[in-house]
Every structure is written in C-alpha cells, then in structure tokens.
A = this chain, B = another copy of it.
Amino acid sequence: MIAPPAEFSLIARHFRPLAGPGALDLLDDAALLDPPPGRQLVLTADAMVEGVHFLPNDPPDTVGAKLLRVNLSDLAAMGAVPLTYLLTVSAPRDTPDAWFAGLAAGLLADQTHFGLTLSGGDTTSTPGPITLTITAIGHVAPGQALRRRGAQPGDEIWVTGTIGDGALGLLALQGKIPDPTGHLAARYRRPEPRLGLALHGIASACMDISDGLIQDLTHLCRAANCGATILSVQIPLSPAAKALGEKYLPTVLTGGDDYELLIAVPPVNTPNLPQTYPLTRIGHFTEGDIVQVHDPTGTPILLPQPGWSHF
C-alpha cells in the first residue's frame, strides 16, 4: 500500500499522544464529544503568531504551554472548567522535527496539569511565520459563567497575582532590561491561568488581562457604563518588577500578556472572596466614564497609550 503522507506521520508522532477519548486517534474527519450532562459549554479561540505573540527563539515547549494557557485564561475568566481543545499548526516545511516535538511536549505537560485532552485540529505548511491556534472548550453550571459586564460604581477592583511581569518579561527577552532571576521572562513565556476561582455570586464582572491593565479595565467600564480609579501604589508587583523602579510603571499599567484576572467585587462580597490565589484590591469603579490611575498624592498619571492593539 502507498505509504501515508509525511504529514500523517508527523501528526501520529507528535500529536496523537495528546489525543483524548473522543479524538478517534486523530484519524477521522472530526472528533466526538459527549457534553457533560447539565452543563453549559464555554468556547474560546486564540491565535499566536511567531514574532507577534512569541519570539522566534522561544523554546517550543513554552510556545505550546503559552498557547494552551492563554486559552485556559479565557476559560478561567468565565469561571469555566477545562474540557478539551483543538489545535491548528501552520509551519514552514523546513521546521525541524524537534520543534514539533517540543511544542507537543509543552502541550502534554500542561494538558495533564490542567486536566484536558486534545480532540483534533489541522497541520498545514505556510510560507510565513509559524502560526498556531487553539480552540478550547470548557463547561460551567448553566447561567453561572462570569461576564465582563455587570460592574457597578462603588464595586471594588481586584486582580490576581502580580501585574506587569508579562510585558516586562518581553522587554527582558529583548535585552532591554535586566532580569537576573529570569522571573520576568518565565512569566512572559508561561503565564498562569487562574482556573478554579469560585467567583460566581461574588464578582459582578470578570475578565483576563491580556492587552494591558488600563485597556482591559476600560473594557469592563465600557461594558458597564461606568468609570474607574485605581491607585498606582496598590498595584501588586513581583519583586523582579519592583526592582526595576518607578520608570516602568507605564509598562506595568499598559503592557499586555499578564493573563491575571481583573475582577469587580461589590464591597459586601469582599469577605467571601476565595483564597485560591493571591488577590489584591487596586481601586474601585466610579460614576462617569473616566478611567484613571492616581499616584500617592491623588494626582492622575498620564499614560501615552492604554494598551495593545493589533490593528
């Protein structure tokens, strides 16, 4: 019999080990999924392009990890439990086999850690940069998904983890700032999706911070017809970010790639906030439509641009 095309062998070697029960060994036209009974599904898709979302010399296992994690972060922002994912890989024909192996290793480690499996996808050639997408599927109790809209003036603004490390990590990997411990680069390459935070009935709105704190906070405000004031000194910084000093505050406020959660919480619910991850209150929502950052004297800080836009 004619040998299978090289593409099939590549898929069998690298991606079949990631395949879950409904994936039919990645041999059929599509995959099957029995939806969990009594649950609503949550669907998200993110693309990553070499040179835009990751660096050409990023280790492929971290590329796989980041691709999965940015999608899981979207599920986390909706309060969903991960279930399965589909992967598309468009790569130049001369991409070394070891690159695919590394990508798959990064995906395998993280899908095991976060409890999901691969259902299917597509592998194609491209004359351009490596371009990857994941569509992730999770589930929530019906009607309990967290939404971006719903914040009210007076609600507190909380964030998980520390802010700014992702954008500072990119600067570090570009050789523009020091990163003696490697903490910032690690945060850029391997963000932590804040899954499992039980916020239904506690948060009035939630999203993940992917395009910069100020821009993403502005999205929550726009969705709720309100404004917001945050205090620069309250923004939680990692020791590595703190060591860089005040000069990088604009990067912290507007840089992307943090994948922390930004959460609106009515003050009455504050005592019920879960302790799963470090949480810090950084400000509150206001009447009006102004989003501002105050320095310790109460003076608004001017920012050159609110965050990242692809277009």
Contact = CB atoms under 8 A, between A and B. Distances in A.
Given A24-B147, A29-B207, A2 B218 contact: yes
A282 interface: no
B32 A40 contact: yes
Interface string A143-177: 00101110000000000000000000000000000
Nearest to A95: B311
Contact of A128 (B8, B29, B121, B129): B129
A4 B222 CA distance: 9
Interface in A194-211: 207-208, 211
Interface in A81-122: 84, 86-90, 93, 119-122
A122 to B, nearest CB: 5
Nearest to A23: B43
The 9 closest A-B pairs by CB, nearest first: A128-B128, A5-B309, A30-B44, A35-B35, A135-B135, A29-B77, A125-B310, A33-B41, A1-B289
Nearest to A126: B49
Given A2-B291, A214-B2, A310 B128 contact: no
B47 A40 contact: no
B290 A49 contact: no
A145 to B, nearest CB: 6
Given A27-B219, A28-B147, 16 more contacts: A1-B218, A1-B221, A1-B227, A1-B290, A5-B215, A7-B311, A27-B148, A29-B78, A29-B148, A30-B43, A34-B41, A35-B35, A35-B41, A47-B122, A49-B124, A126-B129
A44 B29 contact: yes
B88 A46 contact: yes
22 contacts: A2-B214, A2-B215, A5-B215, A5-B308, A7-B309, A10-B311, A27-B149, A28-B148, A29-B75, A30-B138, A32-B145, A34-B142, A43-B86, A43-B137, A45-B121, A45-B133, A46-B122, A47-B88, A49-B125, A124-B310, A126-B129, A128-B128
